[in-house]
Structures are given as C-alpha cells and as structure tokens.
Amino acid sequence: MIRKLTFWEYLVKWLTFLCVGGSIYYGIELIYRQHSHFTMHILGGLCFISIGAASVYLLKNMGIIWQSVIGAIIITVLELLAGIILNLWLGLGIWDYSMLPFNILGQVSLLFTVLWLPLAAFAVWLNSFLRFKIYGIHRPKFKWFRLNRRWD
C-alpha cells in the first residue's frame, strides 16, 4: 500500500523535480548555445513536472513513444508561452527563432519539437525513476507503444 504524502512532502517533491528538470534544461542550453537565462531553469523545471504529471495521471496506459510525442508537444507549448511572455511582452530578447523554418512568432521552431522527443522520453523515465527512488512508488514497466503499468 502506498501512503499519501503530506503537504510538505509534496512541496519538497515538486521543488526537487523543478530543480532536477531545470538543471537538465539549463545544462542543455549551456551546451548548445554557450549561454542561458535563469528563466530557462524555471521553464525546464515546469516542463519536467508537466511531463511527469501527464505521464502519471493522463498517459499511464500509453507507450513510451506516445508519451514522448505528447511530452515534446508540452515542451513546445510551454516554450511558446514563455517566449510570448518573456520575449514579446517583457522584451527580454532571450531567444529569437524567427530565422528558422516552421517558427511560430519567432519563439519556437517546430523543428525543435522533433529534437524534444528523446528529451521527453528521458523525462518520462527519469520522473518515474525519481518517484521510485525517493518516494518508494513502484516503477512501471514501460512498453514501446503501450505502457503496461503492472505494479509488482
């Protein structure tokens, strides 16, 4: 039987996931662009939390491939919203993808959505792994196209 977490345990869990996801996202930005902005750490954490929540609560019967596709869409949508707020409304000019094909308002390029697929798959797996290691929640057995959530 899995016990319910207290409010403080949930808070620590979400802050931990925010930091883990944010650090990975920020690190990828540093490797790819050689610079980043602190808001990308927050955005990355929100992407990680959103993908994990979708995986656990909405997509638990889907395979890892489909969870990755939906995760890549989640990342793209959150990047678009962040770009609209940070770059267009606040004028911070953190990034500009207007020179790339298939861009939306210069804030996202649909080409990057394809690149997010393996990152989203890793996020689904890592989120599940952390839930298992930190909170003792049983790790599901993933299938490629269909997820068999057997709880051993």
pLDDT tens-digit map of 64-119: 888 899 999 999 999 999 999 999 999 999 999 999 999 999 999 999 999 999 99
Query: How far, in Å, are 29, 49, 115, 136, 151 from residue 16 at the CA level?
Result: 20, 10, 25, 15, 24
* Mean pLDDT across the chain: 87
Query: How far, in Å, are 23, 61, 131, 139 from residue 145 at the CA level?
Result: 29, 10, 22, 17
pLDDT value at residue 145:
62
pLDDT tens-digit map of 26-60: 999 999 889 899 999 999 999 999 998 888 777 67
Q: What is the mean pLDDT of the segment spanning 121-147?
A: 77
In this model, does residue 138 exceed pLDDT 70?
Answer: no
